[in-house]
Amino acid sequence: MPIEFSKKLTAHQTPIPGVVLYDLPVHGDNRGWFKENWQREKMLALGLPDFRPVQNNISFNEKAGTTRGIHAEPWDKFISVATGKIFGAWVDLREGPSFGAVFTAELDPSQAIFIPRGVGNAFQTLEDNTAYTYLVNDHWSADAQGQYTFLNLADETAAISWPVPLEQAELSDKDKAHPRLADVVPMPAKKILVLGADGQLGKALRELYAGNASVEFAGRNEFDLTRADSFSARNWKNYSTVINAAAYTAVDAAETAEGRAAAWNINVSAVARLARTAVEHDLILVHVSSDYVFDGTRGIHHEDEPFTPLGVYGQTKAAGDAVVSVVPRHYIVRTSWVIGEGNNFVRTMTSLAGRGVKPSVVNDQMGRLSFTEDIAAGIRHLLESGAEYGTYNLSNDGPAQSWADIAAEAYELAGEARESVSGVSTEEYFKDKPAAPRPLNSVLDLGKIKGAGLAPRDAADALHAYLK
């Protein structure tokens, strides 16, 4: 059958998630034909992942009936035919509900197909002198072969109808020996790596992803962000996403010489190394930001507000945000007044209430609490929903409160009188004390995260649940 010229570039979904068949425009005349086998701009516009190919391979097959596969490699492939024609067969060998799904198609030079990591790939040539080409987004190595997953070409469950019966086809001995589907170990998904997994947010992420083998947790003992060897020792090809829940958060100590150095080292230098790693390995980077990147002089803070940090901590967080923003696939999650497992403002207030203390609490700083379980749920929502990359404000919802308001609620929930808490200005509270400047308004606009399909809990409800 002759090649069909001048097809429109078109994408066709298949029964295997992520496997997409493309019609390619082929231009021909009396001299032969020409096609754009890979055209990044046009294909991205059709929805093809920007899988960043690094190697182009060609398989030349002298005789019709040559059959190769079924191999699932640990990288993505974009496959087409240079000359001749093939019968292609693809089987999903990834962990998950689509394991074992099959798709077959005949391909000539006017078609191409994208095959994600973990989908088994096989073909049978239908014409002599067929050249089969593929772009891949990782370099082949002998070590990588240990991560392959294979399926027998004659597997009865897949039940592929080969045009040339396998007993008449040209097969390798290795392909003949591959296992049946019942004996195949599915290729695991790439992992999410949570850094700072022993902090308040890290603990909430541990609880949220408990039992999920595709999420790996690393505290400082397992991954020290300030050490270059932590990065070089990790095989980043095994990961799709890094959630950075680690940070230097000692706001007042950051104003000292020692604290300033530590804050810049952890919040900026280490983040820059992490961002570079994300760019090099095409990772999604989730980074947690802070209301302290603003000076608190606006009524409500939107994601695109220019940075105006007051103190060293805020300056380092703003610098870290700027670094992460250059990563093509990033989520900056900006929070305020974080409450989670461990020492925090709410626990301090309930402890004081239990001891009958009547504290003076700042009443001119306004904001909303952000409970770590809600931050963790928001991060998972962004990742699983495929939300547009960028910066998202994420706190609990409800009316703005002062620290004194929150303290009074904590006292009431602890069975003590709200009137036990008295208000005091920030200036009075920190008079003659070494302290970092604080934004007086930390209220974050939640319109963007709500537009992405997440409805944060009301802060008052979250506080009640936290204490009860």
Residue type, 177: A
What is the value of pTM for the model shown? Answer: 0.89
Taking residue 29's Cβ as centre, other Cβ atoms within 10 Å add up to 8
Q: Which residues of the chain fall below pLDDT 50?
A: none
Rounded distance, CA 419 to CA 168, Å?
90
Which segments within 63-118 are labelled E, that is strand?
A: 67-72, 77-83, 86-92, 102-107, 111-115
**Using an 8 Å Cβ cutoff, are 272 and 323 in contact?**
yes
DSSP string for residues in 22-64? EE--EEEETTEEEE-S--HHHHHHTT-------EEEEEEESST
Sign of CA dihedral 165, 171, 173, 178: negative
Domains 10-183 and 191-467 share a fold: no
**Using an 8 Å Cβ cutoff, are 243 and 379 in contact?**
yes
**Which is nearest to 101 in space by CA: 217, 14, 226, 37?**
14
Q: Find where tokens 């992992």 sit.
A: 191
The yes or no reply on domain 191-467 and CATH 2.40.40.20 is: no
Looking at residue 468, what is its pLDDT? 81
Work out the mean pLDDT of the chain and round it to a whole number: 94
Looking at residue 145, what is its pLDDT? 63
Burial class (CB in 10 A: 0-12, 13-18, 19+), 365: buried
**Using an 8 Å Cβ cutoff, are 286 and 376 in contact?**
no
Rounded distance, CA 194 to CA 197, Å?
6
Rounded distance, CA 68 to CA 153, Å?
8
Catalytic residues: 71, 134
| 149-150 and 67-72 beta bridge pairing | antiparallel
CATH dotted code for 10-183: 2.60.120.10
Taking residue 421's Cβ as centre, other Cβ atoms within 10 Å add up to 26
Rounded distance, CA 43 to CA 81, Å?
17
Sketch the domain layout of the chain as residue ranges.
Answer: 10-183, 191-467
Q: Find where tokens 């001749």 sit.
A: 84
Edge-to-edge strands, sheet with 86-92: 102-107, 86-92, 119-125, 67-72, 149-150
Alpha-carbon distances, residue 164 vs 63, 133, 150, 169 (angstroms):
12, 21, 21, 6
**Using an 8 Å Cβ cutoff, are 364 and 320 in contact?**
no
Looking at residue 35, what is its pLDDT? 84
